[in-house]
Amino acid sequence: MKISLIITTYDRPDALELSILSALRQTRPPEEILIADDGSGEETKRCVDRLAEDSPVPIHHIRQSHRGFRAAMIRNKAMARAQGDYILLVDGDMILHKDFVQDHKAAAKPGHFSQGSRVLITEEKTVQVLRTRQMDFSPFEPGLMNRKNALRSPFMTRCFSGRRKGLRGIRTCNFSFWMSDALSVNGFNEDFEGWGREDSEFAARMLNNGVLRQDIKFSALAFHLYHPRCSLSSLSVNDQLLENTVRNQLSWCVNGIDQYLRQ
């Protein structure tokens, strides 16, 4: 089982550095790390290049020009470069628990994708974390907003994890799936531009294609640094795209990953 970790980022190199460093200290490292860069500047490139120099894990930087929020496109480009048969998706402002990759691997089942949880960090705590480069967190320390998600317990994972129907709570900031399942629905739908719903629509097509959802609780922990709320200007259009997929039980998108696989 070869695991590719894809980290999506845009112009936040201080957070990205912590995210990459947390990925490099995993008890079970991924086979590769791919930085899916939605048009960041040179500071991000310098950050990735510096970390890649001494990394025991190959780090690949996949970049595209910045023309607004195009997460679907850059994730497809990164997946097209991935060598793993299992994909972990996180955002570049997520700090990963040292057992994050191992926990996703342990939960992986054929015909399933996995939705992990996140711990939200307050704005004040985020400033402190970036200054001190903190990567370990206690469920009891101040600055964590939903601290129950910071508790790692294999026993509670067995009790509370499992299959779930529907799209509520789908977030690709902590998400994993088999590459073959992603290819069978043609990856992310690049008709989605601007923030919102591209992750839910991707999950909807996998569900429509017979892939089951499972939620991971109390393991695969990831800590989400604060950021201002994204623009909602594209949300109404993206909601319509998602509604069309759900209503018509679509399992394939035309504007997807296959265009990069043919190159």
Domains of the chain: 3-261 (3.90.550.10)
**What is the predicted pLDDT for the residue at 263?**
59
The pLDDT, as a whole number, for residue 260 is 97
Beta-carbon contacts of 156 under 8 Å, excluding residues fewer than 6 positions away, are: 217, 218
Compute the distance between CA of residue 42 and CA of residue 104 in angstroms, rounded to an integer.
Answer: 32
The pLDDT value given to residue 233: 82
Q: Which residues of 184-204 are buried (b: 16+ CB within 10 A; e: fewer)?
A: bbbbbbbbbbbbbbbbbbbbb
Dihedrals phi, psi of 215, to nearest 5 degrees: -100, 135
Specify whether the CB–CB gap between 207 and 245 falls below 8 A: no
Supply φ then ψ for residue 245, to 5 degrees.
Answer: -65, -45
End-to-end CA distance of the chain: 26
What pLDDT, on the 0 to 100 scale, is given for residue 231? Answer: 78
Taking only the tens place, the pLDDT of each residue in 167-184 is 999 999 999 999 999 999
Q: Is the dihedral of CA 230, 232, 237, 239 positive or negative?
A: positive
Quote the distance between the C-alpha of residue 203 and its chain's center.
Answer: 13
User: Which pTM was predicted?
Assistant: 0.96
Q: Tens digits of per-residue pLDDT, 87-119?
A: 999 999 999 999 999 999 999 999 999 999 999
C-alpha span between 99 and 40 (Å, rounded): 29
Low-confidence ranges of the chain (pLDDT < 50): none
DSSP state of 85: S
